[in-house]
Amino acid sequence: MQETAVENPYGLGALIQNGDIIARSILLILLIMSLLTWFIMITKFFDQRRQRLQAIAAEKEFWDAPNLTDAIGRLKGSSNPFRALAETGKQAAEYHEINKGRLSGAIGTSEWITESLQRTADTVISSMQSGLPVLASVGATAPFVGLLGTVIGIYHALIAIGVAGQASIDKVAGPVGEALIMTAIGLAVAVPAVLGYNILLRRNKGVQERVSHFTHELHAYLISGAKMGLGMDKGLASPVGSRPAPAGAR
């Protein structure tokens, strides 16, 4: 005997078709929040992957160049944060060297380069954090948006009971089902946003640490001509031929 499929009168499709303007608006808001969450998570994942590869390339290739100009040329990509830092450091060192007589009395070379690199590093780190506040906001507010739909659904159930004069299952099932669907959708939007935020934040922290290390090493190199942590461990006071020369020494 062939079974006949019975359409669910209390499912999501029925909610979209029969729901009022408030229910549909809440569903639309949750849909937008979900699409925005997944868009940010996917784009940020690939951005962080690209930045990690750029960090590895900077650690391997930058310090093997014969001079600073060639080292900067090895850092590929228009949005490469390490290239931006290297160019800033080079420009700051050259500018201070050119205007040494005018700036030396007011600000030293180390402080000048430090301020220049710090501004660029702050900009780079700020750009890496873009999108994460949106994920945090979605994760925090989506359950409450779903809860609003739940409250509206229960309100409709109470109205149906009041109009009918009795709490029959056919009068209550629809609005209560609407309320439960709203709660479930709110949680379905919030959970990926919270998980994505925590994962991306952890991955972001690793890239930011690489940017910070590169900034300190570049600063030490532009000032002393030695890569911090490598030349000092070997007792080198000046760079060997395989490392880029300081900007002022070219």
Our count of domains for the chain comes to: 1
Cα–Cα distance measured from residue 154 to residue 174, given in angstroms and rounded to the nearest whole number: 10
Q: Identify the pLDDT of residue 231.
A: 43
182 is a domain residue: yes
Cα–Cα distance measured from residue 48 to residue 79, given in angstroms and rounded to the nearest whole number: 12
Mean pLDDT of 104-117: 76
- Burial group, residue 168, by CB count within 10 angstroms (0-12, 13-18, 19+): exposed
| 212-217 own/partner pairs: CB under 8 Å, 24+ apart | 212/121, 214/55, 214/58, 214/59, 214/82, 214/85, 215/85, 215/117, 215/118, 215/121
Cα–Cα distance measured from residue 68 to residue 106, given in angstroms and rounded to the nearest whole number: 27
- Taking each helix axis from N to C end, the angle separating 169-224 and 81-98, rounded to the nearest 10 degrees, works out to 40
The residue written with tokens 């040329």 in the block is: 73
Whether 37 has a pLDDT exceeding 90, the answer reads yes
6 is a domain residue: no
Indicate the DSSP class of residue 159.
H
Q: Identify the pLDDT of residue 7.
A: 56
**Which residue range is the domain that position 116 belongs to?**
12-249
The sign of the torsion formed by the CA atoms of 36, 41, 47, 48 equals positive
- Between 181 and 38, whose confidence is greater? 38
48 is a domain residue: yes
Q: Which residues contact 217 (CB under 8 A, 6 or more apart)?
A: 227, 228, 229
Cα–Cα distance measured from residue 9 to residue 237, given in angstroms and rounded to the nearest whole number: 79
162 is a domain residue: yes
61 is a domain residue: yes
82 is a domain residue: yes
List, for residues 182-217, the tens digit of each pLDDT value. Answer: 888 899 999 999 999 999 999 998 888 889 888 888
Burial pattern 44-55, b for ≥16 Cβ within 10 A else e, equals beebbeebeebb
Mean pLDDT of 166-171: 62
Q: Which residues contact 92 (CB under 8 A, 6 or more apart)?
A: 112, 113, 116, 117, 222
1 is a domain residue: no
List, for residues 212-225, the tens digit of each pLDDT value. Answer: 888 888 888 888 76
Q: Identify the pLDDT of residue 238.
A: 36
Do the beta carbons of residue 154 and residue 179 sit within 8 Å? yes
Whether 228 has a pLDDT exceeding 50, the answer reads yes
Mean per-residue pLDDT over the chain, rounded: 77
7 is a domain residue: no
Whether 73 has a pLDDT exceeding 70, the answer reads yes
Q: Identify the pLDDT of residue 235.
A: 32
With a threshold of 0.75, does the pTM exceed it?
A: no
Q: Identify the pLDDT of residue 222.
A: 84
Whether 1 has a pLDDT exceeding 50, the answer reads no
> Which tokens go with 166?
């009795």
Please report which confidence band the pLDDT of residue 152 belongs to, taking 50, 70 and 90 as the band edges: confident
Mean pLDDT of 75-88: 85
- Between 84 and 226, whose confidence is greater? 84
User: Pick from 35, 34, 30: which is nearest to 148 by CA?
Assistant: 30
Whether 250 has a pLDDT exceeding 50, the answer reads no
The sign of the torsion formed by the CA atoms of 6, 10, 13, 16 equals positive
Whether 6 has a pLDDT exceeding 50, the answer reads no
